[in-house]
């Protein structure tokens, strides 16, 4: 058995296609969708954990690549250092998944790791280096 965490970036033409169902049925894989940001008519991004026999995992990844999906290993994760955050909200519009959000009453910013798709778009916009990549 092999476990592989991968990041998929797929074109809008494939959004809504039963790709994950196909992986489970045809390649006998177990899937755990860790994060997903899929919007109709836009590029989709998904972080998946694939489990199964090594050969099946490799064949499943080949299937994804042959469809035109970019497949990269999830080797990095995002860490929010709350003690450095000044709640300036600069990262909010940069975050496509809603992982960074602001409470409209208190104006406190928070980070929801489960929604983060590790796109790294927030890293460059934080003036206080409160967001960093963890290897
Ligand atoms: S890496 Fe940053 S911008 Fe991308 S989803 Fe995670 S928190 Fe949002
Ligand atoms: S940009 Fe940085 S300092 Fe500003 S709210 Fe986001 S994490 Fe906090």
Q: Where are the domains of the chain?
A: 2-73, 76-135
Same topology, domains 2-73 and 76-135? Answer is yes
Nearest ligand to the C-alpha atom of residue 83: 2
- Separation of CA 122 and ligand 1 centre (Å): 5
Residues 67-121 have pLDDT tens digits of 999 998 876 678 999 999 999 999 999 998 899 999 999 999 999 987 887 778 8
Which ligand has the nearest atom to the CA of 119? 1
- Domain 76-135 falls under CATH 3.40.440.10: no
pLDDT in tens, 27-45: 989 998 877 877 777 788 8
Indicate if the pLDDT at residue 11 is higher than 90.
Answer: no
pLDDT of residue 75: 65
* C-alpha 7 to ligand 1 mean position (Å): 13
Q: Residue 12 Cα, ligand 2 centroid: separation in angstroms?
A: 30
Q: Which CATH architecture has domain 2-73?
A: 2-Layer Sandwich (3.30)
Pocket of ligand 2 (CB under 6 A): 85-91, 100, 109, 125-126, 128, 130-131
**Looking at beta carbons, which pairs linking 61-70 to residues 24 or more positions away fall under 8 Å?**
61/4, 61/6, 63/22, 63/23, 63/26, 63/27, 64/8, 64/19, 64/23, 67/10, 67/14, 67/19, 68/10, 68/11, 68/14, 69/8, 69/9, 69/10, 69/11, 69/14, 69/19, 70/8, 70/9, 70/10
């Amino acid at each position: 058995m092999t476990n592989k965490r991968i990041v998929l970036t797929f074109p809008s033409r494939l959004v809504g296609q039963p790709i994950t169902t196909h992986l489970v049925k045809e390649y006998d894989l177990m899937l755990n969708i860790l994060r997903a940001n899929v919007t109709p008519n836009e590029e989709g991004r998904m972080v998946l954990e694939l489990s199964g026999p090594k050969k099946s995992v490799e064949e499943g990844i080949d299937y994804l690549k042959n469809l035109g999906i970019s497949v990269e290993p999830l080797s990095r994760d995002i860490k929010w250092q709350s003690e450095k955050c000044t709640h300036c909200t600069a990262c909010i519009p940069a975050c496509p998944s809603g992982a960074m959000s602001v409470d409209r009453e208190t104006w406190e910013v928070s980070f929801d790791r489960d929604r983060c798709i590790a796109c790294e778009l927030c890293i460059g916009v934080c003036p206080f280096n409160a967001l960093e990549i963890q290897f």
